[in-house]
Amino acid sequence: MKEFTGSLERIIYYNGESSFLVGCLRCRGGEEITFVGNFPPLQIEEELKLTGSWQVHRRYGRQLAVERWERLLPVTAEGLKRYLSSGLIKGIGPVTAGNIVDHLGVEALTIIEKEPERLLEVPGIGAKKADLIIAGLARYREIQQAMVFLQGYGITPGVILRLHRHYGADTVSKVQENPYRLAEEVYGIGFKTSDKIARQLGLPAGAPERIEAAIIYSLARAAEGGHVYLPREELISRVGELTSGPGGASVSADQIAALVAELAERRRVFRIPLDSGEAIYKAGYYYAEAGVARRILRLRERRLSWGDEEVKKALKAANRGPIRLAPAQRRVLEEALASGVLVVTGGPGTGKTTTIKALLTLFEKLQQKVVLAAPTGRAARRIAETTGGEASTIHRLLEYGYQEGTGFRFQRHEERPLDAGVVIIDEASMVDLQLMHSLLKAIPEGCRLILVGDVDQLPSVGAGSVLRDIIDSEIIPAVRLETIFRQAGQSMIIVNAHRVNRGKLPQANTRSTDFFLIREEEPGKAASLVVQLCRERIPNYGPFDPLEDIQVITPMRRTAAGVDRLNILLQEALNPAHRCKPEVSSQGAVFRLGDKVMQIRNNYRKEIFNGDIGRIVSIDLEEGELAVSYPDLGGERSVIYDFRELDELSLSYAVSVHKSQGNEYPVIIMPVLTQHYPLLQRNLLYTGITRARRMAVLVGSWKALAIAVKNDRVLQRYSNLGRRLQQPEGSKIGHE
């Protein structure tokens, strides 16, 4: 093993996702060496000590393959300023770093550690900022200690930073105690990472902790793919693949089955007989499915509560709107009066919003308190604007917040139900099983529930196919709206959405002003064309604002015309780097002032949820924070992110079709190419087209469109909700 000490001369290559870096080190003796390894983001001229062995790359020559490394304190004033202002220590930006070093000298870090009160001598630093800097330095030292210890187990710096964010000063002890807990407790850490650590620590392949972790992880990953449970044989197969490894370090089916049985005894999983085989549930999804079925069956028993004369007057008022209701819409009103639970489904232009307005009028005339909600902020704001009623997100309706003794949770539940006589949920196809369970727990006895949505769209991002399962069970009244109203029928967006839904290719005639098909089969050229459309052609045609009005949606992430590549191209075209625009790097992405970004996982504390899109309105390099402005019911709402939280954000100039659900945009551009083959499905194309309000532009090939239109196979999600609804005794199994 060779050891070298020096300063980082230059970064030749860095991948933020994998943390892989190729750099050049100027050694203290004067020689320069090329080195490779996994590192967190480094600054030029940082002092490093590298330990590794020489290897010869067939193209790049001799390189030091680094096995261990550590940061050293800078030895010059300028180096220390760069070190302190690198963004690693919250509260220290370029100005503050300069003031600290100018006042305390190159021994500043030692002085702060031993005499922290001397920070108050530095111009511009008060007591509050001094405490922030001291805490930031302590946190930074903890991270460095974790880096030194854990890198020996092959853990990348990016993973170590994520672990520290979750466990803090206890990071090393938690990892040593049970590395398999990481896959279950830490966002973004999978079984393979925790297994690699465990094996490095000496845990055997057949350890019960290893098999248990693989079972729980496999069920959790299945839920991320939409499944509520896994058939027993499929679970055993998945766990077997997950735990197989080099040297025959695999686990037998009998060992896995034995651990499943043990977990069932501890009620961490549940085993339910199927017509053929057995379903294995992770506990939370088992309780949610049983609870949803039980509560829906209980609510559906609600019957007509008013006299004939009252009902007649209310129906007359509800039918008196500017648009004459179609027979199916009138049937919705009648079913809503007679049923405790009702589903209303239909495609674009079929009058779902008009129906909701009529329902609001109907129940207001009957002096019922109506609550209107939707899964996302954008959807809630849209339904409030179009109906004239008040609306909220489901999470706000259920008052998610902190409760002493139990932490963050929904404040509305069976013991403190909603004050409502009728609850109407719009965009119900987006509601997953667990959110539906939380909603139903908060609906009081005697309240009516009306679910409105388009069942032909993609199912929810979370586990389950709640709306489809309820409709397919045929236990709950469901009304499908099919009449396309005259004004909607003039829109080629709506015409083509319905054509696709019926298995026909979309059309674009020469008179169309809202739907365009542009042929381009080569993915790279299609991506360039998408950029050109966003930057020039559509804004000049509209006029449409490239950032506010146009949204690119695409079936896949990692292709030439996928989400990741398009985001890089569109950021460069629509919000290029400029010396007046601050920016920060995280996980291989650059976030710049003015960028469109998306929240990619639920953050209940900030009340921001997976799929919410906003704009970066400020970046404070001194405080290590950026602010994102999100559209809200009352206007815009600014949310602050610490730089360490940026793994919750992604650029959103382009988003996946799944992530676009529940949102509408003035203009959508959607590449549809044969390289998207794995996801070319009718409901995906249909969902994409129906996101457009004023214009839809498809870029791609007729062959890809034909594949998507012909593929009407809805990907099966393992769910027993429909069966439970059809067999009421099945909903009574288990406890909530």
Residue pointed to by tokens 């090939």 = 701
> Tokens at residue 58, please?
């067939």
What are the Cα distances from residue 596, in Å, to 327, 463, 570, 592, 730?
Answer: 43, 27, 10, 9, 46
End-to-end CA, the chain: 58
pLDDT-derived band at 736 (thresholds 50, 70, 90) equals: very low
Helix/strand/coil for 33:
strand
- What CA–CA distance (Å, rounded) separates 108 from 567? 41
Closest CA to 428 of 399, 470, 397, 369: 470
What are the Cα distances from residue 324, in Å, to 358, 396, 486?
Answer: 11, 34, 12
Lowest pLDDT segment from 289-303, 380-394, 604-618, 717-731 = 717-731
For 208-245, the pLDDT digits (tens) are 999 999 999 999 999 998 999 999 999 999 999 988 86
583-587 long-range Cβ contacts below 8 angstroms, 24+ apart: 583/619, 584/87, 584/619, 584/621, 584/626, 584/643, 584/646, 585/16, 585/41, 586/16, 586/643, 586/646, 586/647, 586/649, 587/16, 587/17, 587/158, 587/646, 587/647
For 456-496, the pLDDT digits (tens) are 988 888 899 999 999 999 999 999 998 887 565 578 999 99
Give residue 112's identity as a one-letter amino acid code: I
Tell me what the pLDDT averaged over the chain comes to: 88
Residue pointed to by tokens 């899109």 = 613
pLDDT of residue 302: 65
- Percent residues over pLDDT 70 in the chain: 95
Q: Are 450 and 342 in contact (CB under 8 A)?
A: yes
> Tokens at residue 245, please?
């490894």
- pLDDT of 405 > 70? The answer is no
Helix/strand/coil for 286:
helix
For 112-133, the pLDDT digits (tens) are 888 988 999 899 888 888 888 8
Residue 422 dihedral angles phi and psi, to the nearest 5°: -145, 130
- What CA–CA distance (Å, rounded) separates 699 from 527? 9
The residue-averaged pLDDT of 425-439 equals 95
pLDDT of residue 352: 93
pLDDT of residue 226: 92
pLDDT-derived band at 402 (thresholds 50, 70, 90) equals: low
| Three-point CA angle 672, 690, 438, nearest 5° | 115
This prediction has a pTM of: 0.84
Task: State which H helix or E strand residue 15 sits in.
Answer: strand 2-15
Pairing of strands 665-672, 550-554: parallel
pLDDT of residue 246: 55
Closest CA to 612 of 626, 632, 598, 595: 598
pLDDT-derived band at 734 (thresholds 50, 70, 90) equals: very low
Q: Are 388 and 354 in contact (CB under 8 A)?
A: no
- What CA–CA distance (Å, rounded) separates 634 from 234? 47
Task: State which H helix or E strand residue 613 sits in.
Answer: strand 613-620
